[in-house]
Structure 1
């Protein structure tokens, strides 16, 4: 079905692998289009409860966009390309199912932006992060100026974007850009283990937590008001009845997402 990505369903988790290792998994029009279709699957298939995005090979998660596509673009076409990336990455960020990045190598430019669009990130100790667009006469165009600032703070984000420097996985951990740093062979097992733990929780509550956390960064929403609404909505669910009953009976809950 796909030519530039691979997908594998394991334990209700869809593993999406950007598969252009000869190009350091660089994003191009086809990768973005196929990634959008894979995200459609995550949203639309009941047997998919969560997703992991990673890169093929040992060197790169996604080492930026395909620069060869940039040389013939007009300003209007450049703007349209950025909008296309924004739409796809926002669909990842606002997914009602958890989507996490397993960063196995270089996450530069659009690759760093893709990782930041995920709900959170795990990294191999070989991973490197950066927004080097300024060295090409560009700025980050897929949400990097906004999400990097939100995640690490204005000062660190500006230094990283204005110098074009890379940071190590350990620095990314210290900055709050990633949640965990592990050995390369532990990366996917760690990501799967976290998502399997999330799958034991109430699905509707998981969805509402993601929605409220995203609202905290949306200037057009009152996150506190949304939280009270979503908290109240939990009281009409069977999952709340099951969770509270199981707690009182000192047994594991059996959530159904109802």
Structure 2
């Protein structure tokens, strides 16, 4: 059975999924969308850190243009990619995108939906949709300005600017830049640091962080009220106090 994804690493605390359609530069087709929804279902039922990567020199080149050309109004309203990327963004545990090479169009929007973006020093981010007569409708029109600011986002979205790894780092789009050969190890290192924390506290922090401004401080207090009653809070604080005595 053909598949567009590969399980690179499957552990108790993380799942590493590689986009694997190198013959079409990891273009996001309906099969990949469906398979990523299956990954989301798995991680919603059993929350773990998700690492997303692509193949050598290509994270994802965007939506499959041959399929995109045939889509009509009803397909646009169905939000085929945008609903998937929203689901990925709202997974219970953090999502790490390890971007080696090109992340264009829908591929860039997939990376924008992650909580963390790490880049190879050959990474390139761009949204060329207006050149194809459409808009970047799977998150770039609102996520990108939140990530890099309005002026730079507009230059990417309207003027076809492509950001290289160092520009993305300076703009805050990525948090780390590594040689491509070290990129997955760096993503695992970040996952290791997250995995050392209390999983429930990580989940609530992600949810509260993404809550709208008007939801605060109520949402913070509700989350804290749950965590204050958790066994992990008492155990971790007791361990901290015991270590402090030594």
Structure-1-length-normalised TM-score: 0.90
Q: 1:14-57, CA deviations, whole angstroms, 9 ceiling, x for partnerless residues?
A: 11111111111010111111111112222223xx621100112x
- Specify whether residues 233 and 198 from structure 1 end up closer, same or farther in structure 2 by C-alpha distance, changes over 3 A only: same
Paired with 2:141 and 2:240, the residues of 1 have a C-alpha distance of 44
SS in 2 for 1:236: coil
- Matched residue, 1:8: 8
Q: Does structure 1 residue 134 correspond to structure 2 residue 133?
A: no
**Deviations 1:68-99, CA, capped at 9 Å, x for gaps:** 1122222222332xx12222111111111111
Judged with a 3 Å threshold, the aligned counterparts in structure 2 of structure 1 residues 2 and 207 are, in CA distance, closer, same or farther, namely farther
Q: Note if 1:192 corresponds to 2:185.
A: no
Matched residue, 2:227 = 234
What residue in structure 2 maps to residue 50 of structure 1?
49
User: 1:152-186 CA distances to partner (integer Å, 9 max, x unpaired)?
Assistant: 11111111100112110110010010110001011
1:124 pairs with 2:125:
no
Q: Counterparts of 1:223 and 1:93 in 2: how far apart (Å)? A: 20
SS of residue in 1 equivalent to 2:69: coil
Q: Tell me what 2:73 maps to.
A: 75
- 1:2 is displaced (CA, Å) by 5.8
String of CA shifts for 1:108-146, please: whole Å, max 9, x gaps. 110110001111110000100011111111110111101
SS, match of residue 70 in structure 1: helix
For these two proteins, the number of residue pairs brought into alignment is 243
The secondary structure found in structure 1 opposite 2:38 is helix
Q: Distance in 2 between matches of 1:5 and 1:226?
A: 36
Alignment partner, residue 33 of structure 1: 34
Instruction: Please tell me whether residue 162 in structure 1 is matched to residue 163 in structure 2.
Output: no
1:209 CA drift (Å): 0.7
Aligned to 1:222: 215
C-alpha distance in 1, partners of 2:54/2:8? 13
Instruction: Give the Cα separation in 1 of the matches to 2:220 and 2:4.
Output: 39
2-side partners of 1:145 and 1:174: how far apart? 20
**1:19 corresponds to 2:12:** no
Whole-Å separation in 1 of the counterparts to 2:180 and 2:71: 37
| CA distance in 2 between partners of 1:185 and 1:207 (Å) | 30
Distance in 2 between the 1:72 and 1:50 partners? 35
Look up the SS of the partner of 2:60 in the other structure.
strand
SS, match of residue 76 in structure 1 = helix
Give the match's secondary structure for 1:37: helix
Which stretches in structure 2 are left out of the alignment for 5+ residues? Answer: none
Q: Deviation at 1:101?
A: 0.3
- Contact 1:49-1:199 at 8 Å conserved across structures: no
Determine the structure 2 residue equivalent to 1:113.
Answer: 109
Cα RMSD of the aligned pairs, angstroms, is 1.6
